Each structure stands twice: as C-alpha cells, then as structure tokens.
Copies of this chain bind each other. A is one copy, B any other.
Amino acid sequence: MHGKPHALDGMIEKLGRLSRLDGDDRAALSRLKHSVADVPAGWYLIREGTPSTDCCLLVSGFACRHKLTAAGGRQIVSFHLNGDLLDVQHLLLETADHNVQAISNATVAWISKAQLKELAWQRPAIGQALWRDSLIDASIYREWVLNVGRRDARSRIAHLLCEIATRCSVAGVAEVEAFKLPMTQEQIADATGLTAVHVNRMLMLLGEQGAIRRKGRQVEIRNWEQLRRIADFDPAYLHAAA
C-alpha cells in the first residue's frame, strides 16, 4: 500500500491539517470501505430532502452546494475541491437540507457513513478533525452571509476570487497567482446573489482596473493586494494554516 496513490489520500491529508493524526489514525482512515466513481459535470451528489447512507468524498474536481427558492432562484452556498468531505453534516443530521452538484467532471468516493461515524468516536483525533472541518464550513457560511448581505457587486466577486485562490493554494490544487476558475459566470452569479450579466460587467471592470487578467476561464491575479483590498478579504475566517 505504501506510496500507492489512494482515493482517500486527499481527505487524510486535509484532516491531518485540521488535527494531529498519528500513524494509527491515518491507517484507520485509509482502511475505510469506499467505492470510487467518476461523474460528469452537473451530476447531483446529494439531493435535498433525501436521507443519506453514505458520505461523499470529492477525490478530484469541483462541486457546489446550493439551495433553491420556491420561485426558482438558485443560491450556491459553498464551493468544494479535492479532499473535501461533502456531507460531514449527515453524520448527525438525517436528511439533506440542500443539494450538492459537481461543477466539473469529478471523481468521488462513497464512504460508509456508519463506519466513518464509528471512527469519529473511537479515535478522538479523527473526530476532532471532522468536527473542526464542519466548524470551519460554518465560519465560511458566516462570511458568505456578510459578503452577500453587505458588499457591493464588485467586492463580492473579488472576495469570492480571493477565497477560491486561497483555498486552492492551501489544498495544493493551484497557485494563488494564476488558476483555472472552475465555475461559469452564471455559477459565480448564483454564489454572490447577482445575475450573470452583472457578474460579467464586474469581471470586465476588475480586468480594466488591473486587479485580474482573464483568458477564457483562466484567471490570473495580477495584483493580489489590490484585489484583496477591493474584496475586503481577510483569510482569518478560513482558519487555515497557510
């Protein structure tokens, strides 16, 4: 097993950043029963209102978590990348109150919920990492409420860019300075409470102002300090080491 890349490695590495895991913890995690699957962009991984029996781990690719209004409005409440467990909350809550959908082609691993739950209680370091992970998710939600509620369109989008860049960098997915934006402008709109048209106008503006440069869906942050200032971005809420 040693040295062989493993579907759960990203998760183990991430949990290791959240709590001090010893060799036994890591071994126990890597022994978790799971089945790996490739899914196309747009695939639903979790559906609102359904009880869940397995936990979904995002092995590679990007996903978003979203809710819908009765009128059909869609609000993305978070984005996820490599190594993110998409339903830690379902270890203790029975039914999903939202949807999770792949936004790129992705590889996922379905892990036995009962087995993971058992590990969380048998091995304090693992339980602590999982709980801590869910608390950081909550902190990100709080920042998003602030972002959507109290910043103007340009700042909201800049803030989202800063967050994605920082999280990609921490997870080792991409550099802060230049990365491929995994989402469309419509998805950015759904995450910021705007419309796709206005997102486009603001991205053009951020380009004109020299904060970013875009080529297709590739985004290069030309002036991190300027973007950070526009975004009013302080990474403290991510509670991440990097």
Contacts and interface: CB of A to CB of B under 8 A. Distances in A.
Contacts of A192: 149
Interface residues of A, number: 45
A95 B145 contact: no
Contact of A97 (B95, B124, B144, B236): B236
Given A145-B148, A148-B149, A193-B149, A138 B136 contact: no
A148 B89 contact: no
Given A131-B131, A145-B77, A239-B93, A193 B150 contact: yes
B138 A89 contact: yes
A47 interface: no
A237 interface: yes
A81 to B, nearest CB: 18
Given A70-B232, A232-B70, A232-B71, A92 B149 contact: no
**Of listed A95, A138, A143, residue having the most chain B CB within 10 A:** A138
**Of listed A67, A88, A135, A239, residue having the most chain B CB within 10 A:** A135
Given A134-B134, A236-B97, A141 B145 contact: yes
A74 interface: yes
A107 interface: no
A65 B20 CA distance: 30
Given A92-B131, A131-B134, A138-B137, A146 B67 contact: yes
A69 to B, nearest CB: 5
B75 A146 contact: yes
B128 A92 contact: yes
Contacts of A92: 128, 131-132, 135
A222 interface: no
Given A92-B132, A132-B92, A97 B142 contact: yes
A69 B150 contact: yes
A239 B90 CA distance: 12
